[in-house]
Structure 1
Amino acid sequence: MTMLTRWNPFRSVARFDPTSDFEDLFRGLSLRPLLRELENSAPDLRIDVQEDEKNYCVKIDVPGAKKDDIQVSIDGNQVRVEAEVKSEKAHEDRKQVHTERYVGKTCRAFGLPQEVDADKSEAQYDDGVLTLTLPKKNNGNAKRIAIN
């Protein structure tokens, strides 16, 4: 069923929006090279954090990096992961037509709710995924109190 509406000549004036044509202003400009540069910026290191009573288990996607090019540092409850993806040597008989793969350094730092024992921490890198096992540090001040 069609709804009939009454024509109002002042309707467009009443809803005047000076920014409505703002997007059309830039539509004709060629921003593709600029957008392409932004697409090749450093990728985010995606993380998953799980915990149990004794440990935090952190999985970090680090695609394209070699094990020797990844550094992990722990300071209290702060964890910092740095990775460098190096470019491959190009064949002399080939020329680069198009590239989207990232080359360079990237890092990610995050905090955990509880301090981590850096001396007992372990790291394993397999198929582009860095797995950190971070034991929780026992705080000497924490004490469980029975409720009467």
Structure 2
Amino acid sequence: MSNLARFNPFSELREPFSDDFFKGFTLRPVYRLMEGEPQMRLDLSEDDKNFFVKAEIPGVKKEDIKVSVDGNQVCVSAEVKKEKEQKEGAKFIRSERYYGSVSRSFTLDEGVDQAASSAKYEDGVLQLTLPKKPNGQSRMLKIA
């Protein structure tokens, strides 16, 4: 008549590999097979005259990449389209698609000369050369 069970908080110390410990292990390998959203990785460097940006955007066509520079604000965006099909004979076994966009925006320390900026896309890597504005030097203000 009594279906009460006693709770022992120290039972896990005695039996660390109980049934709850292995719960969910069967689902973890499935997550490794699923591809997540693509991300854009950036490297930013500078010398005395230029800022250099390297952005990894694999699998994107050159026409689908947009770069905008407004003062010292830089925005890189791309339309990503991934399609993967597996066929067996005349019927589909699996078809996966991803359509979306990725973008990164960042602010530089100095203004950028937009007219002299250049961009090159090769082997999934976008390379930007952003010359610093000659009049964009910062100056200290005197406090009155």
Q: If the TM-score is normalised by the length of the shorter chain, which range does it land in? A: 0.5 to 0.7
Match of 1:46 among 41, 48, 54: 41
Report 1:59-70 matches (<5 A).
59-70=54-65
What is the CA–CA distance in structure 1 between the aligned matches of 2:31 and 2:22, rounded to whole Å?
A: 14
Whether the 8 Å contact between 1:71 and 1:82 is mirrored in structure 2 is yes
TM-score normalised per structure 1: 0.63
**Equivalent in the alignment of 1:110:** 106
**Equivalent in the alignment of 2:81:** 86
**Deviation by residue 1:5-61 (Cα, 9 ceiling, x = unmatched):** xxxxxxx87xxxxxxx9xx86963576599579x64432211111211111111100
Q: CA RMSD in A?
A: 3.7
Which protein, 1 or 2, shows the higher relative CO under an 8 Å CA cutoff with sep ≥ 6?
Answer: 1
**Deviation by residue 1:35-93 (Cα, 9 ceiling, x = unmatched):** 579x6443221111121111111110000000000000111111111111223485874
Gaps of 5+ in 1: 1-11, 14-20, 144-148
Q: What's the CA shift for 1:136?
A: 0.5
Match of 1:137 among 101, 108, 133: 133
| Residues 27/48 of structure 1: CA separation in 2 closer, same or farther (3 Å cut) | same
Normalized per residue, the structure richer in helix is 1
Match of 1:56 among 42, 51, 57: 51
**Equivalent in the alignment of 1:120:** 116
What is the CA–CA distance in structure 2 between the aligned matches of 1:113 and 1:28, rounded to whole Å?
A: 50
Q: How many residues align?
A: 123
**Equivalent in the alignment of 1:95:** 92
TM-score normalised per structure 2: 0.64
When structure 1 is superposed on structure 2, of 110-119 and 88-97 the one drifting more is: 88-97
What is the CA–CA distance in structure 1 between the aligned matches of 2:49 and 2:120, rounded to whole Å?
A: 18
| Residues 40/84 of structure 1: CA separation in 2 closer, same or farther (3 Å cut) | same
Whether the 8 Å contact between 1:45 and 1:108 is mirrored in structure 2 is yes
What is the CA–CA distance in structure 2 between the aligned matches of 1:82 and 1:104, rounded to whole Å?
A: 11
